[in-house]
């Protein structure tokens, strides 16, 4: 086995990543905003809750707090540059939709827009906010879910172009999954 080296405590967060990146969209007083987020998690099956961690200084935090709603739009690797730009820019400095060339799409259950170019969307109403260190965890009750059939058929279809989700590795590094594996009871049956 290879030698293992000690890491900084904060590296634990990167070891747990990469999960799929999402663009968090919010709307307050007719002002839409986008934020790139990698700190997402499922929280409950029934009711269906998801969580997103947001630093309190972010405009997204302010808008989620005031509107009590947010959407998660899941991009694939084709949107890497726009996703990265949404993580670098502040919505206080201008419209991120316009700056990145992304297009807002109407949500079905909330006022915040979805990102039209993304392959999946999760619309949420905030049911709780928990302060944890330097971030707040917004707990969202899932109100509506949609996905591109080519990208998701009950599981992500990572072998299709549409299903190659974007995963943040740190800084300006991302990855896209390209192969799926199926677990079996017999090791020789793996595909």
* 70-114 tens-digit pLDDT: 999 999 999 999 999 999 999 999 999 999 999 999 999 999 999
**Sequence-ordered list of residues with C-beta below 8 angstroms from that of 159, at least 6 positions apart, any chain:** 178, 179, 180
Q: For 159-170, what is each residue's pLDDT tens digit?
A: 999 989 999 988
Residue 137 φ/ψ, nearest 5 degrees: -95, 115
16 compared with 30, residue with greater pLDDT: 30
Q: Would you state the pLDDT for residue 125?
A: 98
3-state DSSP assignment of residue 18 = coil
- Tell me the C-alpha to C-alpha distance, in Å, between residue 181 and each of 130, 135, 157, 187, 188: 36, 34, 11, 12, 13
Q: Would you state the pLDDT for residue 13?
A: 61
HEC secondary structure over 161-187: CCCCEEEEEECCEEEECCCCCCCCCCH
Q: Would you state the pLDDT for residue 36?
A: 97
Q: Where are the alpha helices (DSSP H) in 20-95?
A: 59-67, 80-88
Residue 55 has pLDDT above 90, yes or no: yes
- In order of their start, the domains of the chain are 20-189 (2.30.110.10)
3-state DSSP assignment of residue 76 = strand
Least confident of 50-59, 101-110, 180-189: 180-189
Residue 11 has pLDDT above 70, yes or no: no
Q: Give the integer Cα–Cα distance in Å for 56 and 84.
A: 20
Q: Give the integer Cα–Cα distance in Å for 67 and 33.
A: 12
Q: Give the integer Cα–Cα distance in Å for 153 and 26.
A: 27
In the structure, what pLDDT confidence band is assigned to residue 187 with cuts at 50, 70 and 90? low
In the structure, what pLDDT confidence band is assigned to residue 154 with cuts at 50, 70 and 90? confident
């Amino acid at each position: 086995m290879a030698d293992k080296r000690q890491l900084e405590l904060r590296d634990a967060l990167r070891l747990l990543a990469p999960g799929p990146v999402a663009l968090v969209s919010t709307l307050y007083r007719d002002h839409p905003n986008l934020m790139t987020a990698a700190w997402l998690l499922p929280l409950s099956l029934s009711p269906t809750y998801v969580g997103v961690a947001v630093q309190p200084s972010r405009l997204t935090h302010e808008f989620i707090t005031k509107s009590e709603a947010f959407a998660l739009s899941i991009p694939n690797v084709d949107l890497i540059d726009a996703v990265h730009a949404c993580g670098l820019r502040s919505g206080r400095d201008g419209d991120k939709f316009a700056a990145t060339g992304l297009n807002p799409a109407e949500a079905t259950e909330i006022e915040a827009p979805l990102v039209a170019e993304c392959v999946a969307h999760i619309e949420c109403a905030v049911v709780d906010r928990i302060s944890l260190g330097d971030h707040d965890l917004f707990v969202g009750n899932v109100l509506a879910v949609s996905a591109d059939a080519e990208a998701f058929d009950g599981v992500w279809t990572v072998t299709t172009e549409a299903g190659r989700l974007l995963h943040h590795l740190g800084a300006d590094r991302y990855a896209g999954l390209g192969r799926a594996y199926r677990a079996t009871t017999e090791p020789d049956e793996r595909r």
